[in-house]
Structure 1
Amino acid sequence: MFRYAVAIQPSDIDHMGHVNNSVYLKWVQDAVVDYWRSVAPPDAVASHLWVALKHEISYRKPTFLQDKVVAEVIAEKVEGARAHFTTVVRRGHEVLSEVKSTWCCLDANSLRPSRLAREVAARFLPPQN
């Protein structure tokens, strides 16, 4: 699991006084990309980009400006140029949202889908028993 500290900005707060639902998508994108940068070798980071294909978000509790929030990213699987992630946004032990997302890896030059090398993809996944 990868932990990403979320910085809540005043502009993230909506007319109801809590974080707007659309902001969660930005958090997930920032967390997954930061995860990629933390596990992939520098040459793979330089030669690949990630784009989100799908997000399924379950909102559990509202988030407020003063909250200390962490996004926990877990890579579920890599299939060809696609990767599947679960991101859980937490305030302490409270789950604020759960996000299942599918991403496509792109070649940074051609912007076409690109399979990750097996050894790079293995860095994402939890060890198999």
Structure 2
Amino acid sequence: MDDWDLPRPFLLRVAPEPGDIDGLDHTNNAVYLRWCEQAGWAHSEALGLSIADYRRLDRAMAIHRGEYDYLLPTQLGDALELATWLLPGDGRLRMERRFQLRRLRDGATVLRGRWQLVCIEISSGQARRMPPEFCAVYLPAAVTPTT
């Protein structure tokens, strides 16, 4: 079960709840987006940057673009593990975050996603250079894809 797309994943266990299931009897696609957001925040906090730090610094890594490949459906009762990674960007303004969601019972990847992130000044919404605190925490945690 260590066959992740990239090394050193940050992992979050998730499972569809009754309200997550849509009319087709599988997890609604919007639920995957919520899980990715939860994993991104949990990873950031585990690295040492919380929402309180973002507010104090008046900076945030905002999603500029999100892409998701829905590969297989999941259903009520499926135990899942969501991996996330930061990838190095330009070291000034941009970074990338990737996701891989796997079903625990068979190891099948059910979703892959990626976010293009840009650092913004929260108070204005304008793109701004990453503060030193972001660089010190995020850049050493970034993994480089082998392909």
| Superposed pair shares fold, TM > 0.5 | yes
- Would the aligned equivalents of 1:90 and 1:97 in 2 still touch at CA under 8 Å? yes
TM-score by length of 1: 0.82
Segment of structure 1 superposing worse, 102-111 or 22-31: 102-111
Q: Which residue of 2 aligns with 1:57?
A: 68
Q: Which residue of 1 aligns with 2:4?
A: none
TM-score by length of 2: 0.73
Segment of structure 1 superposing worse, 118-127 or 26-35: 118-127
Q: Which residue of 1 aligns with 2:6?
A: none
Q: Which has the higher strand share?
A: 1
State how many pairs are aligned: 127
1:100 to 107, 110, 114: 114
Q: Which residue of 2 aligns with 1:8?
A: 16
- Would the aligned equivalents of 1:81 and 1:113 in 2 still touch at CA under 8 Å? yes
Segment of structure 1 superposing worse, 28-37 or 47-56: 47-56
Deviation at 1:97, TM superposition (A): 0.5
Letter in 1 for 2:96: H
Segment of structure 1 superposing worse, 100-109 or 8-17: 100-109
Superposition RMSD in Å? 2.2
- Would the aligned equivalents of 2:47 and 2:138 in 1 still touch at CA under 8 Å? no
Q: What residue ranges of structure 2 are gaps of 5+ in the alignment?
A: 1-8
Quote the Cα distance in structure 1 between the aligned partners of 2:126 and 2:13: 31
Quote the Cα distance in structure 2 between the aligned partners of 1:106 and 1:88: 26
1:46-99 CA-to-partner distances (Å, cap 9, x unmatched) read 534332221111111101120111110011123323220110011121101000
Q: What residue ranges of structure 1 are gaps of 5+ in the alignment?
A: none
- Would the aligned equivalents of 2:17 and 2:77 in 1 still touch at CA under 8 Å? no
